[in-house]
């Protein structure tokens, strides 16, 4: 799910090309890109506990404090992610903006439905290495010799009820 038209079109074109290149094997049939606002419609597309992985790759940092409510990670949205995630599922985050990284870590750490994945487990996860090296934005950051900040969070099976 992507809100930006240009990005959606780019990803959809890449998917079509991969399907054509691999027509004989039938690969890449289980991938899609929809232009939609995740912040508004995520539970309309997925049922409870349907997803094993969510990737938040180089989201818009919305630098100004008054725009922080538009960030893709927040207490409310983390509850939506928890709803659609299977127990043990992982949310992968990557950004080149350290302040945004700290924001995402803080909000996932504070949410009872998620726990941080260890650095060792992150280092061994194939999805993390692909996210760092193979995404278009990741390649751009690499070319510009920028830094990438990664954090992964596992969906907890039975989170405790919040205390009042």
Which residues form the catalytic set? Answer: 60
Which residues is 55 bridged to in the sheet?
92
User: What is the C-alpha separation between 129 and 9, in angstroms, rounded?
Assistant: 25
Is residue 33 within 8 Å of 42, Cβ to Cβ?
A: no
Contacts for 55 with CB less than 8 Å, ≥ 6 apart = 92, 127, 131
Contacts for 36 with CB less than 8 Å, ≥ 6 apart = 1, 2, 3, 45
In 3D, which of 100, 112, 34, 24 has the Cα closest to residue 67?
100
């Amino acid at each position: 799910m992507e809100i930006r038209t240009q990005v959606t079109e780019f990803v959809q074109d890449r998917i079509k090309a991969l399907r054509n290149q691999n027509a004989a094997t039938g690969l890449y049939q289980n991938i899609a890109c929809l232009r939609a606002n995740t912040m508004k419609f995520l539970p309309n597309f997925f049922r409870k506990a349907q997803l094993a992985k969510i990737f938040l790759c180089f989201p818009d940092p919305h630098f100004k404090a008054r725009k922080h409510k538009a960030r893709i990670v927040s207490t409310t949205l983390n509850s939506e992610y928890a709803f659609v995630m299977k127990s043990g599922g992982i949310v992968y985050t990557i950004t080149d903006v350290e302040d945004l990284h700290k924001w995402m870590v803080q909000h996932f750490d504070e949410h009872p439905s998620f726990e941080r994945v260890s650095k060792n487990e992150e280092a061994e996860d194939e999805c993390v290495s692909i996210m760092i090296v193979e995404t278009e934005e990741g390649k751009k950051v690499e070319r510009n010799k920028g830094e990438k900040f990664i954090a992964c969070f596992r969906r907890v099976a039975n989170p405790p009820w919040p205390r009042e």
